[in-house]
A = this chain, B = another copy of it.
Amino acid sequence: MSINTNDFYSILASKAEASAIREILKLIQNPEVVSLAGGLPDPATFPAEEIREIVNHILSNNSVQALQYSTTEGLPGLRKSILDYLSTDGIKGNLENIVITSGSQQGLDLTGKLFLSPGDVAIVELPSYLAALSAFSSYGGELVGIPMDEEGMRMDLLEEKLIHLKGEGKKVKFIYTISNFQNPAGVTMSLSRRKNILEIAQRFNLFIVEDNPYEKLRFEGDHIPSIYSLDDDGRVISLGTFSKILCPGLRLAWMLGNEEVISKITLLKQATDLCTNILSQMIAFEYFQLGKFDKNIKSNVDIYKEKRNTMLKSLKQHFPPEATWTNPQGGFFITVTLPDYFDTGEMLTEAVKENVAYVPGSPFFADGKGKNTMRLSFCYPSLEEIEEGVKRIGKVIKRKIKKS
């Protein structure tokens, strides 16, 4: 007799459900559909030929290391190279402050596992990165959202909420922020806010988890010091990744933090996947050795900047005046806000009929709001597709605008 699998799930696993929207977007196999939904990097940014040469070299000269098990904390040479590379941004640290992870998603998962018992609170931005919310929820963490404006998370509302949560006896563990060119909002936290959030974290004694995948993809304006670089208490954990500056297929990222955090994360990682793909680590290490990163990042910035410009121009041209949108100085994403009576989740079916896709905003909001917002990605589609896609969405929106 067939087993009834549902009866066996853990409490947390039984709560995990596939996102309805992700399922809809999965079904879009029609090549006619222009997708502004996904967050995939443009393959034109992958240095494929250089990677081929590097792998050839590694497997000709050092195949035993490249194909064997490796240490959980990651290749020392790579960890050193990352620290050296980040030192120009004011990041200090030694090998005990960094662990290599199998993509930043693993870093988020391990962060959840490290900090969150069921009922513990993680503060997140409204909106925030969907897969981070999933990772934290998967350990029973309670997500409390704080609205953002053009300078990032609202510090006045953060403080208010923390006082309220304290009064309720809630155990808040950390504040999660994507400080640069946020996913999905596209906004960047200002320097004064970064100092402010650190001061608040000190006062309420909290960790800050700074997710920073897009920092190097800045199109204009000055680099803003990371919250991690401003911290002297060891209360910030920083997540960085090769997915957006080299390629995502390598599944390679890093976590920075105080020695206790990194040591415990390493222990948890050991039970999770033993070690990160060592060939990937050696590829990234060699890429550093060859001094290729700066040039590659510069060319990536040029590619994405042009795409961002095209999307902003198209939005201005094809979206009705009732719509507003963010103006990202880097990264991959723009968030559009429509009048309150819009439901972008419902509207997606209509959009797909017009051969265009986007991600409805609501799933990014830990408080379930944001139904009138959508995320548009300019990273993957061509310039023509960006313009055509925005035009098609604009058409659908205009049909639904209520004339007052």
Contacts and interface: CB of A to CB of B under 8 A. Distances in A.
Interface of A: 1-3, 5-6, 8-13, 16-18, 40-41, 43, 46, 48-49, 51-52, 55-56, 59-60, 63-64, 66-70, 102-103, 105-106, 109, 113-117, 120, 131, 134-135, 138-139, 173-174, 202, 205, 207, 233-235, 243, 247-251, 258, 260-261, 264, 267-268, 270-280
A300 to B, nearest CB: 13
A68 B51 CA distance: 13
Contact of A13 (B3, B114, B276): B114
Nearest to A38: B69
A3 B102 CA distance: 27
Contacts of A117: 10-12
Nearest to A279: B249
Interface centre among A10, A134, A205 (most CB of B within 10 A): A10
A249 B67 contact: yes
Interface centre among A1, A67, A235, A271 (most CB of B within 10 A): A271
Contacts of A279: 249-250, 279-280
B273 A5 contact: no
A56 B52 contact: yes
B271 A9 contact: no
Contacts of A248: 67-69
B247 A3 contact: no
B258 A13 contact: no
Given A1-B233, A17-B267, A48-B66, 8 more contacts: A1-B202, A5-B261, A8-B173, A13-B113, A66-B249, A67-B250, A70-B249, A131-B271
Given A131-B274, A270-B134, A67 B40 contact: no
Contacts of A18: 267
A267 B40 CA distance: 19
A315 to B, nearest CB: 26
A280 B249 CA distance: 9
B264 A277 contact: no
A9 to B, nearest CB: 6
A103 B46 CA distance: 25
B105 A264 contact: no
A41 B69 CA distance: 9
A102 B102 contact: yes
A357 to B, nearest CB: 17
A287 to B, nearest CB: 12
Nearest to A60: B52
B273 A273 contact: yes
A270 B11 contact: no
B278 A249 contact: yes
Interface centre among A17, A18, A258, A274 (most CB of B within 10 A): A274
B59 A271 contact: no
Contacts of A134: 270-271
A113 B11 CA distance: 9
A5 B113 contact: no
A205 B174 CA distance: 41
A258 to B, nearest CB: 6
